[in-house]
Structure 1
Amino acid sequence: MPSPSPSSPSSPPSPAKVLVTGFEPFDGETVNPSWLAVRSLAEAPPAGVDLATAELSCVFGTAIEDLRAAVEATSPDLVLCVGQAGGRHGLTVERVAVNVDDARIPDNAGRQPVDEPVVEGGPAAYFASLPLKACVAAAREAGVPAAVSQTAGTFVCNHVFYGLAHLIATERPALRGGFVHVPYVPEQVVDRAAPSMSVRDIATGLSAIVTAALTTTTDLRVTGGATH
């Protein structure tokens, strides 16, 4: 009787491919905490993650082109876009992107659209395809203040968030993605009364969010809504 063939060792699972983006500085700032934190995250990515990063222009239209190019170059399983929300106290995981550009200030190219669609003829809004509350819980478990946000504004952050969601809905249905706003970093608030968070803490929270997004199939059913 022939002896049984030895079994082949199983191959380790392929790492998840994740693209995380931040923005260049805008509105007279010299830094953008989103990009500082994304760079910090890239130095120590979550376990089991093949992490790619991209810095997006703070320019209507161009920012979505930057995002699309990064997605095409990396073919990720998950995209997490990150932007600055000065005045917020913690990381805020965005629930919904709306199809409107309505800029309170000009972007970095001097463009200031008013009540214009991000995508002509597109849906009024998209929901993030992330387990929002599990992501928030993971950031908090890592010691970083976090919450669900019901609005990503109407500036370039929402513009990119909607562009990502539209790309997923129309061209890449297997891709998952969402948006996280982060506070100022301390160097931005030395002359104004506003909350801030260290780059290290922001990166820690983002790492926890990425891991939760990759490992959670059913979101937590806990409170996270708003009364106004």
Structure 2
Amino acid sequence: MSKKVLLTGFEPFGGEKINPSWEAVKQLNGKVFDDIELSAERIPTVYRESIDALEMHIEKHQPDIVICVGQAGGRLHVTPEKVAINLDEARIPDNAGNQPIDEKISEDGPAAYFTGLPIKRMVEGMKEQGIPASVSYTAGTFVCNHVFYGLMDYIHRTSSNIRGGFIHIPFITEQVVDKKAPSLSLDTIVKGIRIAAVGAARHEADVHSVGGATH
């Protein structure tokens, strides 16, 4: 039985001309790996609007798994996220000029949601194929965490059987020409997301291992 995986990426933000999350996932749109179908959609880097767009895309595609992908400039690895927190706090404005400080995403939602994906297994799969990867225990408080929390809250509220989660990726090489920051090639990131998505579709249970940093 085939499984459908919906991937999402963001539009550029913070003065960047491109967002590697969208550049990567759009390359996987329409791809099929054995019995796993991948689709990709772009969502706005805007509080609230991003969750509305995500829910619309979920209703459209009716996926089994949703993996939202976002840029985390400065990170060294492809990093599946463990936890989304119920907090919006923006160091910079989003693309609509919103800059919330210490605001809840959901007034009646829990303080946090854990991912529904086998992220340690996903990391192992990427590392086995030469992709720098590790588990992250902080998705920040910008629109990435906002969408991750919104996704998990949607799943909880609708009693959906969808499994969902979030992956942060570094800058791609073209973005750091004038920066002193780590990067990975777009091809490497695309490969990592593909391995992670297929692994998540094939396995529900995670492995019992240390997957992240101690700080």
Same fold (TM over 0.5): yes
Decide whether the 8 Å contact of 1:41 with 1:204 is kept in 2.
no
- 1:78-133 alpha-carbon deviations (Å, 9 max, x no partner): 00000000000110000000000000000000000000011111100000000110
Q: Which residue of 1 aligns with 2:199?
A: 212
Residues 219/153 of structure 1: CA separation in 2 closer, same or farther (3 Å cut): same
One-letter amino acid matched to 1:82 = V
Question: Distance in 2 between the 1:145 and 1:45 partners?
Answer: 24
Aligned residue for 1:163?
Answer: 150
Question: What is the distance in 1 between the residues matched to 2:212 and 2:186?
Answer: 27
Cα RMSD between the aligned structures? 1.1
Instruction: Show the counterpart of 1:76.
Output: 63
| Structure 2 residue aligned with 1:17 | 4
The structural deviation recorded for 1:47 is 2.8
Q: Indicate the residue corresponding to 1:91 in structure 2.
A: 78
User: Do 1:18 and 1:52's aligned partners in 2 also have CA atoms closer than 8 Å?
Assistant: yes
TM-score normalised by structure 1 residue count: 0.91
Is residue 192 from structure 1 mapped to residue 207 from structure 2 by the alignment? no
Q: Does structure 1 residue 154 correspond to structure 2 residue 134? A: no
Look up the equivalent residue of 1:122 and give its one-letter code. Answer: G
Query: Which residue in the other structure is 2:124 paired with?
Result: 137
Rounded to whole Å, the distance in 1 between the matches of 2:20 and 2:32 is: 17
The CA deviation string for residues 163-210 of structure 1, in whole angstroms up to 9 with x for no partner, is 000011110431101000000011110011111111111010011101
1:46 aligned partner: 33
Percent identical pairs in the alignment equals 50
TM superposition shift of 1:36 = 0.4
Per-residue deviation at 1:226?
3.1
CA shift at 1:50, angstroms?
2.0
- Contact 1:46 1:207 survives alignment (8 Å): no
Runs of 4+ in 1 over 6 A off after TM superposition: none
CA distance in 2, matches of 1:225, 1:184: 20
The alpha-carbon deviation at position 44 of structure 1 amounts to 4.2
Q: Give how far 1:48 is off.
A: 1.7
Cα gap change, 1:198 to 1:44, in 2 (>3 Å): farther
Gaps of 5+ in 1: 1-12
Out of 99, 110, 113, which is 1:126 matched to?
Answer: 113
CA positional deviation for 1:43: 6.1
- Looking at structure 2, the residues matched to 23 and 222 of structure 1 have their Cα atoms a distance apart, in angstroms, of 31
Q: Which amino acid aligns with 1:91?
A: V
CA distance in 1, matches of 2:204, 2:30: 27
Match of residue 104 from structure 1: 91
Max radius of gyration: which structure?
1
2:30 equivalent to 1:30: no
1:8 alignment partner in structure 2: none
1:45 Cα deviation from its structure 2 partner: 4.3
| Alignment size in residue pairs | 215
Alignment partner of 2:88: what SS? coil
Unaligned runs of at least 5 residues, structure 2: none
